[in-house]
Structure 1
């Protein structure tokens, strides 16, 4: 057994435990002590892998929740299909993470601490819009969206709609948006007229 194996195993256990505790208690009521206890490890072991709770939270989002593919794949799918897949992925992400993050808004002090913490690790909600905007910019570069199209507003519309659908699903106690692919296609269909193809 290599020396790295126990560390990798403990890191995975911490991430699994963090996801469970955060989903059950919300981020505001989650402590590193609770996570370490759920993982069957010491807090010292937790801090060998993660600098603080905010870094652990971001790692849970990146490694234990549905991921959106922001990269364009213009060779194998239409613009509409690619964006619909992206919106469906975002709805899945928001549905799964809303119960974790919502509790933090009940405490201004904790919210400030959390906001500063995730920002110090390069995270935060705005990164989702940045990812979608980058995806649309790549589509512009590929000539599938006109160079003058308002991709900033389009990114906000796509993310906002996905977030709201995720919120509604989480509010109903669901783990996913019902008929997510159809809902995502409808959202994209309303945004696409504002993203005309590039000129030949």
Structure 2
């Protein structure tokens, strides 16, 4: 059986290690070892662990970017509620899978600060999905399908915040699991839309 290309093996190993031991403890040395290559080979494909982290998020987890690009290019193909539901579904799945990877950063303040600095230099970070959803909502405003006075950044923050909370806020419940994404996403979208629709009157 033919071996996978080195870049794919590195991404696979990084994804597995980041899930099992967390981003903070997944060193490039351990990732390279798990991928069956040298650290030098790893750095041939990825400039830093932060870049590798971004590529894992983009290539191994559900991503919002392509969806938002499509919705902004043809927003009226579906209703706003349908679009928000799909955004919420993708975001909920993304946070569900990425939270175990990134959570360990919050236990190490200096490492978190270095990570944030690196993300900033690459034009990435946890705030980017919020900005992307806000941009989509502004497209809907211009199309007359969202209230002209709705605060799109606040609306995007509420949507993404709810999806992020779903990833960790339900562990202590009797069920010990988050609400099913297929019922959670439409409920969140429907509730948000009541506040930003043309029928509403945001201050």
Instruction: Tell me how far apart the structure 2 counterparts of residues 132 and 167 of structure 1 sit (CA, whole Å).
Output: 22
**Match of residue 106 from structure 1:** 107
TM, length-normalised to structure 1: 0.88
Instruction: Tell me how far apart the structure 1 counterparts of residues 127 and 171 of structure 2 sit (CA, whole Å).
Output: 21
**Match of residue 70 from structure 1:** 68
**Match of residue 117 from structure 2:** 116
Structure 1 residue matching 2:78: 3-state secondary structure: coil
Deviation of 1:28 (Å): 0.8
Unaligned runs of 5+ in 2: none
Deviation of 1:177 (Å): 4.9
Moved more, 60-69 or 19-28: 60-69
**Match of residue 195 from structure 2:** 194
Number of aligned residue pairs: give it: 189
Structure 1 residue matching 2:77: 3-state secondary structure: coil
**Match of residue 140 from structure 2:** 139
**Match of residue 3 from structure 1:** none
**Match of residue 166 from structure 2:** 165
Deviation of 1:178 (Å): 4.3
Instruction: Tell me how far apart the structure 2 counterparts of residues 106 and 177 of structure 1 sit (CA, whole Å).
Output: 23
Matched, 1:58 2:54: yes
TM, length-normalised to structure 2: 0.86
1:20 corresponds, among 16, 20, 45, to 16
**Match of residue 45 from structure 1:** 41
Matched, 1:148 2:149: yes
Change (3 A) 1:32 1:169: farther
**Match of residue 126 from structure 2:** 125
Unaligned runs of 5+ in 1: 1-5
Q: 1:172-193 CA deviation, whole Å, 9 max, x = no partner? A: 9xxx954212111111111112
Deviation of 1:76 (Å): 2.5
Contact (CA 8 Å) 2:166, 2:179: kept in 1 or not?
no
Change (3 A) 1:16 1:169: farther
Deviation of 1:146 (Å): 2.4
Contact (CA 8 Å) 1:14, 1:35: kept in 2 or not?
yes
Instruction: Tell me how far apart the structure 2 counterparts of residues 92 and 37 of structure 1 sit (CA, whole Å).
Output: 29
Instruction: Tell me how far apart the structure 1 counterparts of residues 91 and 170 of structure 2 sit (CA, whole Å).
Output: 13
Deviation of 1:170 (Å): 7.5
